[in-house]
Structure 1
Amino acid sequence: MILKRNLARAAAILTAAALALMCLSGCGQSKKSNKELNIIVWDGTWSEEMFQDFEKETGITVNISYVDNTDTLMSKLIQGNADYDLIDLEGAYVKPFVQHDLLAKIDQSKITNTKYIVDDYKKTGPIGDKNLEYTVPDMAPSYTSVIVNKKTCPIKITRFSDLANPKLKDQLAMVNATNSLYGAALQDLGYSAASTDESQIAEANALLRKIKKNVKAFVGESAVSQLESGECSVAFSWDYPTLCGDSDTNWDKFEEIPLKGGNEYCMQYWAVPKASTHKKEAQQLINFILRPKELAKCYKEYYAVPLEKKSAIAKYLPKNYYKNPSIKSSQRLLHNSWNVSVDEKQIALMDSYYTKLMGEK
């Protein structure tokens, strides 16, 4: 999925969304049935069978809308029909949502199935909600990583700046997400990915300019096709779990690199909009989804590193599920990672440099 995350225009969208949801809290709600929930989630992540199970058990109809990036989600919130009861929210956007008073606090005592979540994933919440008052983890973390074809990559890669090596000319596929690119460059240079120092961002841009010379393809969401076809021997993307879930022949073919400076950590969370008039039912759905038997249905349809403890969920998954190397890689990267939150000043600076970078030949 994931991620996913070009932050341009996000500041303006956030402000508009705040105003829109404040208005929605007082209008348009009376038409909803007490037996309906309107939710908005990422496409290609959740099992429809799981939602059908919830409907059969509770009698509550789940109306599902799908988005493929957070800007789309924000745009929907601005629209007059944006009366969602549950949203699947990127961790990077939690802080501004909380600051704009758009989320309702969750009664965590009602979400008893969080006991199944891997302890490391709930030790601390996203930036802006460290105590998990407004959010509940809904999937294990993913990482923006360097992925190499172990047979065809001509160099050993240990850090982001290695992608500037001339030996990688026309062999690199790279996501075009500004915060991922500039964050990785800043971390490599010894700065913080959250930096708003223009001199540091300019230095990161200079590194990206060198790396760009080797890029065969910039991709919006996935570099899987470039890697599997052999068009590129290296990618900077969040595709390692997808590659490994796609075919076990990729298990020995590709490797995810723990970067010096760390890998970008991305995580999704359930959140209930403050304007929702069905908060109790939304929390009921969250708890239902966290049943290991139900969550396993999602992983059978769309491979992912499990959010929940092996002892709780493994019996509902295929026997070889935990042999997938992306699970061990995810655990290895967890303590060598960084993440940032949407910041208006940083967005403006990065977007300015990114526009120039992509316009250069």
Structure 2
Amino acid sequence: MTRLKKFVSLAMAAMISTAIFAGCSSDKNQVTINVFNWGEYIDEDILEDFTKETGIKVNYETFATNEEMYEKVKAGTTTYDLIVPSDYMLERMIKEDLVQDINFSNLPNFKNIDEKYKNQAHDPENKYSVPYMWGTIGIIYDKTKITDNIDSWNALWDSKYKNDIFMSDDMRNSIGISLKRLGYSLNSTNEDELNKATEELIKQRNDLNAVYIGDQVKDALRSGEKNIAVIYSGDAFVLKEEEPDRFEYVIPKEGTNLWFDVWAIPKTAKHKEEAEKFLNYLLDAEVNKKNVDYIGYATPNKATFEMLDEEVKNDKAAYPDEEILQKSEVYIDLGDFRKLYNDAWLKITSR
């Protein structure tokens, strides 16, 4: 009996040891993909769900502007498997050979993307990107504090809102708004037009004390730091859902930026196939709906859109009328003229 107990004990120890080492080996061989996305732009529960389903871990980092993301990818100090550039930035990264073709045979759920969101100007052959979300930029205001009927970008230069304005801490957004207000294209490459738009932003900042802010805008508005702000449509949708009697979102009558954010795979990605599995997972109608419900942005996923409540489908903050879209513009890459925008932005933001 003693020998039998000893034998059983040794056998069990061996089994436990094998299990431990097998577990270590499994952990060691587990693939981790590096994902670089905008702040507050995914339901992070989805990352955990994906890992549970596939065994692929997700190392998730965020950025605040396209330019920040671009500089990190170009520098190559961190190797990302997936990034989320906006339209014009993807166009630039394609030109600079920073992204690679996607193998769409690994993305059967790509069939869920509405045809009208495919083959856009920033990726005309749809080789390099998967549409993620789309939307507009507009003005949100606390209608319990501001009783005016705001319908123009001019409101952001109205002296009655001194010390009460948040502008977008994004070069293309704020310069684009100033250009659009003056009747110019937000993709202008006319130096005189850019100079006039720059002067107006400097004047606004000096005379009205406009404050530039990024992803923190929702919390700042919730707490009442200021009562009027430039904001992305999805963020506006979230705030309106939370407090419908408090917040109002408008797309100014002059028109605005119609933007598209996309998933892309950098040339330096180490786990392309696993990244494509993640993209296919996100394109699942149910998974995408969970994400849309969380972040509030408009989806290009037709299967998901059909699952949304009628109230959401008809909300003009998320899905604006065609009349507004016709007045709006998609950002394009500015090429060499980009340097003049960078110089203008330094003048605007440094004081």
Do the aligned residues in 2 keep the contact of 1:161 with 1:211 (CA within 8 Å)? no
2:97 corresponds to = 101
5+ residue gaps, structure 2? 1-27
1:17-96 matched pairs, under 5 angstroms:
35-78=31-74, 82-96=78-92
| TM-score, normalised by the number of residues in structure 1 | 0.75
Distance of aligned partners of 1:206 and 1:48 in 2 relative to their CA distance in 1, 3 Å threshold: closer
1:8 corresponds to = none
SS state of the match for residue 330, structure 1?
A: coil
Do the aligned residues in 2 keep the contact of 1:157 with 1:163 (CA within 8 Å)? no
**1:115 aligned to which of 111, 115, 121:** 111
Q: Which moved more, 1:109-118 or 1:173-182?
A: 109-118
Question: Could you tell me how far 1:295 is from its partner in structure 2?
Answer: 2.1
1:137 corresponds to = 131
Question: Could you tell me how far 1:36 is from its partner in structure 2?
Answer: 4.3
User: Which 4+ runs in 1 deviate beyond 6 A?
Assistant: none
Q: Which moved more, 1:71-80 or 1:273-282?
A: 71-80
1:188-337 matched pairs, under 5 angstroms:
188-212=181-205, 213-238=207-232, 240-246=233-239, 248=241, 250-309=243-302, 312=304, 323-324=311-312, 327-332=315-320, 333-337=324-328
In structure 2, C-alpha distance between the alignment counterparts of 1:216 and 1:117, rounded to whole Å? 39
Question: Could you tell me how far 1:182 is from its partner in structure 2?
Answer: 1.5
In structure 1, C-alpha distance between the alignment counterparts of 2:184 and 2:204, rounded to whole Å? 18
Q: Does 1:125 align with 2:120?
A: yes
| TM-score, normalised by the number of residues in structure 2 | 0.77
In structure 2, C-alpha distance between the alignment counterparts of 1:88 and 1:149, rounded to whole Å? 31
CA offsets 1:79-126 (integer angstroms, 9 cap, x no match): 565333222222231112111112111233442323323444x14425
Which amino acid counterpart does residue 329 of structure 1 have in structure 2? A
2:167 corresponds to = 174
Which structure shows the bigger proportion of residues in helix conformation?
2
Which amino acid counterpart does residue 165 of structure 1 have in structure 2? D
**1:158 aligned to which of 131, 151, 162:** 151
Question: Could you tell me how far 1:286 is from its partner in structure 2?
Answer: 0.9
Distance of aligned partners of 1:258 and 1:224 in 2 relative to their CA distance in 1, 3 Å threshold: same
2:8 corresponds to = none
5+ residue gaps, structure 1? 1-31
Q: CA RMSD in A?
A: 3.1
1:356 corresponds to = 347
Which amino acid counterpart does residue 356 of structure 1 have in structure 2? K
Which amino acid counterpart does residue 288 of structure 2 have in structure 1? L
Q: Which moved more, 1:280-289 or 1:335-344?
A: 335-344
1:186 corresponds to = 179
Question: Could you tell me how far 1:134 is from its partner in structure 2?
Answer: 0.6
In structure 2, C-alpha distance between the alignment counterparts of 1:83 and 1:357, rounded to whole Å? 33
Identical-pair percentage: 25
In structure 1, C-alpha distance between the alignment counterparts of 2:285 and 2:150, rounded to whole Å? 37
Distance of aligned partners of 1:35 and 1:353 in 2 relative to their CA distance in 1, 3 Å threshold: closer
In structure 2, C-alpha distance between the alignment counterparts of 1:221 and 1:145, rounded to whole Å? 15
Which is greater in Rg? 2
Do the aligned residues in 1 keep the contact of 2:237 with 2:318 (CA within 8 Å)? no
In structure 1, C-alpha distance between the alignment counterparts of 2:29 and 2:158, rounded to whole Å? 59
